[in-house]
Amino acid sequence: MKKTAKASHKLFKATLATTVAAGAFVAAVPTETSAAVTFTDVKPGVHYYSPVLELANRGVVKGYNDGTYRPNASVTRAQAAKILAHVLELDTVNVKNPGFVDVKPTDANYGPIAALAQGGYIQGYTENGVKSFKPNSNLRRSQMAKILTLGFALDQSPLAADRFKDVKPADAYAGYVAALLDLNITTGTTPTTFAPNGLVTRGQMATFVVRTEVALKDDSTPKDTAGDELLKTAIQAELSDVNQSTDAIYIALRDKTFNVTVKTPTSTIAEFGDVMKPVFDTLKANAVVNNATVSIMIGGQEIKAEAKDIDNTLDFETVFSKVLAKAGLPSTTPLSLLDGKTIKLVVDGAIKSEPFNSTYEFKF
């Protein structure tokens, strides 16, 4: 069904007013360890030298007992899952069982795989009603493009019809490939081929991940204040429980971005409210929000809403009910109207007497 600007505008107001009330929180960037890790088969001069060592020193990847990294060996789906879950800082302990017959809770990579499945970044395979992940199969380049695009919330764009001979615009993974091309994360195996079914090596996987991080990093972004850091701590403590409270929505944090995954087409604004309530309550118990400005682009037009001198005494149910009534929306309104849109939030206030004034994004 075609999305209308009017309907999207209404849902935007309802959803974002709730977001304003709840506030915004960001995840801390992984810190590097002081110990220098080296491998006997990773030498200066190769494209993966710096990426492999960077991820190794951050504890994201490990080598083998013989001192090698084996960069030219194919990376398995389980190994790729572990890398991605680590760099995205997902909770790999408090997870729901994804129901893959070939991934047991006792498996070494169960946590990362379950966390990615819970976040909607991976789906696995379904054959004759049986779900599997095939953790020991090698990762293909098309699959790599998909998990990086979804994991890092990259913007997908149409792939030019003549860009690659082996990737057509109608292919299911074309948008993921285009997302990597737009950020120069990859240029293909040749000027005219991407090799979607080609295997990804351990060295290449490290390179793609670090290139993605670099492409998304904005050195001009102001450093977080003490208030921002306190805000982070408050929400991080709540996120695991929030994400396990519903199968409809999953919220992942990276840098200044909330990646909101609507996991089922029937997810409604009421279910979004169920997820946001504990976030709201956590913020209310720890902070005071003074002003907030929310904006979204719909049909090439920016729609903006402002709230000043916010009443922090109101409970979530009251705020949510008023917002829905004002927007004229029933609680059964589908969240799919926000699919693919990014909502920008500028919020200021104080937490434990420490001021914060920050800009965040919510990507649906």
Question: In this structure, are 19 and 60 located in the same domain?
Answer: no
Mean pLDDT (the chain, rounded):
79
* Structural domain boundaries, residue 20: 5-26+224-363
Question: In this structure, are 161 and 129 located in the same domain?
Answer: yes
Question: In this structure, are 186 and 324 located in the same domain?
Answer: no
Q: What are phi and psi of 50, to 5 degrees?
A: -65, -45
d(CA 261, CA 300): 23
d(CA 309, CA 181): 44
287-308: pLDDT as tens digits: 787 777 766 665 556 666 666 7
36 domain-assigned? no
Mean pLDDT across 306-335: 74
Last residue of a domain, one of 167, 194, 216: 216
Q: How many CB atoms lie within 10 A of CB 96?
A: 12
Question: In this structure, are 212 and 233 located in the same domain?
Answer: no
38 domain-assigned? no
Q: How many CB atoms lie within 10 A of CB 76?
A: 20
Question: In this structure, are 299 and 154 located in the same domain?
Answer: no
Q: How many CB atoms lie within 10 A of CB 89?
A: 16
**Three-point CA angle 26, 23, 32, nearest 5°:** 10
111-162: pLDDT as tens digits: 999 999 988 899 899 999 999 999 999 999 999 999 999 999 888 888 888 8
33 domain-assigned? no
d(CA 202, CA 75): 5
Residue 254 scores a pLDDT above 70: no
Question: In this structure, are 58 and 199 located in the same domain?
Answer: yes
d(CA 148, CA 177): 10
Last residue of a domain, one of 175, 193, 216: 216
Residue from 259, 316, 324 nearest 282 by CA = 316
Last residue of a domain, one of 175, 191, 216: 216
209 domain-assigned? yes
The confidence score (pLDDT) of residue 293 equals 72
Residue 274 scores a pLDDT above 60: yes
81 domain-assigned? yes
Question: In this structure, are 68 and 119 located in the same domain?
Answer: yes
53 domain-assigned? yes
**How large is the greatest C-alpha to C-alpha distance in the chain, in angstroms?**
65
Statement: the pTM of the whole predicted model exceeds 0.75: no
The single residue listed with the structure tokens 């074309």 is 174
The confidence score (pLDDT) of residue 275 equals 76
Question: In this structure, are 201 and 73 located in the same domain?
Answer: yes
66-85: pLDDT as tens digits: 999 999 999 999 999 999 99
Question: In this structure, are 197 and 341 located in the same domain?
Answer: no
Q: In Å, how far are 1, 99, 149, 169, 255 from 117, measured between CA atoms? A: 27, 10, 15, 26, 21
CB 249 within 8 Å of CB 275: yes
Q: In Å, how far are 220, 316, 355, 362 from 20, measured between CA atoms? A: 25, 11, 17, 11
Residue 4 scores a pLDDT above 50: no
Structure confidence at residue 346 as a pLDDT band (50, 70, 90): confident
34 domain-assigned? no
Indicate the number of domains in the chain.
2
Question: In this structure, are 201 and 66 located in the same domain?
Answer: yes
pLDDT higher for 224 or 185?
185
40 domain-assigned? no
SS3 category, 35 = coil
Residue from 355, 353, 347 nearest 25 by CA = 347
pLDDT higher for 1 or 86?
86
Question: In this structure, are 228 and 212 located in the same domain?
Answer: no
Question: In this structure, are 63 and 94 located in the same domain?
Answer: yes
